[in-house]
Chains A and B, each alone.
Chain A
């Protein structure tokens, strides 16, 4: 399991190849989130961020067959098309890998302490939390 919060870009291929070579792994699902349209600065809460991401990974492991998992989230200044977040989940079968990957993204969007500030033509503005993200996280409660 790997959880990292960093300024630097990540190498998706390297991270997928670095997933455990456990012979019980039959599926590796990954998701990359990237910056759309405008440059932004991502602020986070050092210490709590790592703690929150680790707790979300533990929750995913308790719900699905997760043999290995990597979560990397960047902070600092990012440009359009820059990757922001990477989630890789390795499971025995694809159902668990896809579900755990989507769950990790939905939960980190509502529970990990990151804040985006966009640099628009009209000036800087803090991105507001979306209720659609809350609903996406809520559906895993049932």
Chain B
């Protein structure tokens, strides 16, 4: 199944792109699993998704917990804690 991934702020800079569409490997069904999967791609992803990196995620533009499940066509976003206002 395919999902669209968006990166913002420091995550976008570390990854080196702002969006991509990826085919999820079998067994990757949650935001937490996707985060781990991205880290194992190595290179810029290893740094952006390091275990100690403080990251937040949204699915279809709603902030979610790491255990949130994914389905085909979802828009998943990864970003650092927000600093607006």
Report A's interface with B, CB cutoff 8 A: 33, 42-45, 47-48, 51-52, 73, 84-85, 105, 108-117, 126-129, 133
Contact = CB atoms under 8 A, between A and B. Distances in A.
A115 B9 contact: yes
A70 to B, nearest CB: 15
A73 B83 CA distance: 12
Interface of B: 6, 8-10, 54, 58, 61-63, 77, 79-85
B61 A108 contact: no
Contacts of A117: 9
Contact of A85 (B8, B61, B85): B85
A110 B58 CA distance: 14
A108 B85 CA distance: 7
Give chain A's interface secondary structure class. Answer: mixed
Contacts of B79: 45, 113, 115
6 contacts: A44-B84, A105-B85, A109-B83, A114-B83, A115-B79, A129-B80
A115 B80 contact: yes
Given A109-B82, A112-B85, A113-B58, 13 more contacts: A44-B84, A48-B58, A52-B61, A109-B83, A111-B82, A114-B85, A115-B8, A115-B79, A116-B84, A117-B9, A126-B10, A129-B82, A129-B83
Contacts of B58: 45, 48, 113
A58 to B, nearest CB: 13
A85 B62 CA distance: 21
